[in-house]
Amino acid sequence: MGDGQVEVPLQPSMPADHLDMRTRIDALHGYLDLDAKSREREELEMMSSQPGFWDKAEAAQGTLKKMAMLKGWIDSWAALDQRLKDVVELRELAVMEGDESLIASMDKDAEVLEKDLYAFELKKMLDGEDDGRDAILSVTPGAGGTEAQDWAMMLMRQYQRWMERRGFVCNVLDLQDGEEAGIKGVTFEVKGEYAYGFLRPEIGVHRLVRISPYDSNARRHTSFASVYAYPVVEDAEIPELKMEDMRVETYRALGAGGQHVNKTESAVRMTHLTTGIVVSCQTERSQVQNRENCLKMMRAKLYQYYRDEEAKKRDDKKAKKLKIEWGSQIRSYVLDDRRVKDMRTGVETSDTEAVLDGDIDQFINAYLLMEAEKTKDA
């Protein structure tokens, strides 16, 4: 270097993974239309400050929930954006100063950020009208007696563990014990951010193949159970729900083996006479609470029923293309071969124990990605 020349340290180039995340975060800002979301949030905040806002409590609660959802999108994106800026800035400083320890630390932070960005990208796929709602989740055994009822109970536990991992709140609305083992059915209310959106991919028939613990000859048995999810809705959203169109019956709750567990008729069964939809609840000791739970389930089922009817009338090709039929087998659990495979996406794992312990995000995420691709091509 000649006299009078000053050595200027080279600016470190941004690593490829940082550039990739920068591109993805910038793309998300436009895809999510965050500017419009910010304007909508401001409008709702102004509305919530007006006199008489709480005169209609249910509508007010809906507005506050929408505000919280918009805030969640805006704040989550801003946090990812700031974290990447911090990682890039600190890593560049570490490279210029030759601080290998700080470089390693920032690379670890970048790995964590990439995982969080991936999770946020998955969340952006939950843009359906009902995806942000809480959910009603039902598990029902197929034919096969004790075998199928035991399988339904295994699935019940799987979803309970998954909900715990997600931080969702789970309330059992109805649970019917099996004759010898397992359950005849269970219905949950699942509360959490995008609960329905994340549970939609689980709708369908789940197939179990195993050496039966109930067969003295240790033969291989196949069992089926159906899983269905409904979005939770409020009274105001279901004008079709009128008590004069309902038949309400009460009876004594039954436990395992058909034994009566209560002396009073606390269990409730409701039938919507127009559609034939039936719901029942016997979980609570109070008939009043069981009745409330029945109404909650009926609202969800009616909402889905009328949405499906509207889609048929519109001949909605997109809905037809993406709809999961009740009778479709979506996942196979072959325990003696240590294999769980999703029939729609092809995702497969040999860690059957982890899956049955609630580790099902790989299947849910793969389905959401597949659905997004189909939507894009539609």
* pLDDT (0 to 100) of residue 40: 94
Residue 204, SS3? strand
Q: Which domain holds residue 117?
A: 16-124
Which CATH number is 120's domain given? 1.20.58.410
On whether residue 56 sits in a domain, the answer given is: yes
Instruction: Say whether both 117 and 205 belong to one domain.
Output: no
Instruction: Say whether both 237 and 277 belong to one domain.
Output: yes
Query: For 13, which DSSP code?
Result: P
Instruction: Say whether both 104 and 218 belong to one domain.
Output: no
* pLDDT (0 to 100) of residue 1: 46
On whether residue 9 sits in a domain, the answer given is: no
Q: Is the pLDDT of residue 148 over 50?
A: yes
The C-alpha atoms of residue 48 and residue 38 are separated, in whole angstroms, by 15
On whether residue 48 sits in a domain, the answer given is: yes
Q: What is the DSSP string of 266-312?
A: -EEEEEETTT--EEEE-SSS-HHHHHHHHHHHHHHHHHHHHHHHHHH
Per mean pLDDT, which of 179-188, 260-269, 345-354 is the most reliable?
A: 345-354
Boundary residue ending a domain (103, 124, 145)? 124
Give the tokens for residue 63.
């507005």
Q: Is the pLDDT of residue 207 over 90?
A: yes
Instruction: Say whether both 170 and 308 belong to one domain.
Output: yes
When comparing pLDDT for 306 and 150, which is higher?
150
On whether residue 11 sits in a domain, the answer given is: no
Smallest CA-to-CA distance from 205 within 345, 328, 342 is with 328
Exposure string for 72-85, b = 16+ CB within 10 A, e = fewer: ebbebbeebbebbe
On whether residue 6 sits in a domain, the answer given is: no
On whether residue 237 sits in a domain, the answer given is: yes
Q: Is the pLDDT of residue 39 over 60?
A: yes
On whether residue 130 sits in a domain, the answer given is: no
User: Per-residue confidence at 315, pLDDT binned at 50, 70, 90?
Assistant: low
Residue 125, SS3? coil
Instruction: Say whether both 159 and 284 belong to one domain.
Output: yes
- The reply to whether the predicted model has a pTM over 0.95 is no
Boundary residue ending a domain (71, 95, 124)? 124
Total count of domains within the chain: 2
Query: For 344, which DSSP code?
Result: T
pLDDT mean across residues, the chain: 85
φ, ψ for residue 342, nearest 5 deg: -85, 125
Taking the CA atoms of 71, 74, 77 and 80 in sequence, report the sign of the dihedral they define. Answer: negative
* pLDDT (0 to 100) of residue 4: 47
Alpha-carbon dihedral angle through residues 70, 72, 78, 82, given to the nearest 10 degrees:
180
Instruction: Say whether both 213 and 335 belong to one domain.
Output: yes
On whether residue 43 sits in a domain, the answer given is: yes
Residues in CB range of 4: below 8 A, 6 or more apart: none
Instruction: Say whether both 237 and 335 belong to one domain.
Output: yes
Which CATH number is 253's domain given? 3.30.70.1660
Q: What does the pLDDT look like over 321-355, one tens digit per residue?
A: 334 344 578 999 999 899 999 999 999 999 999 99
Instruction: Say whether both 302 and 171 belong to one domain.
Output: yes
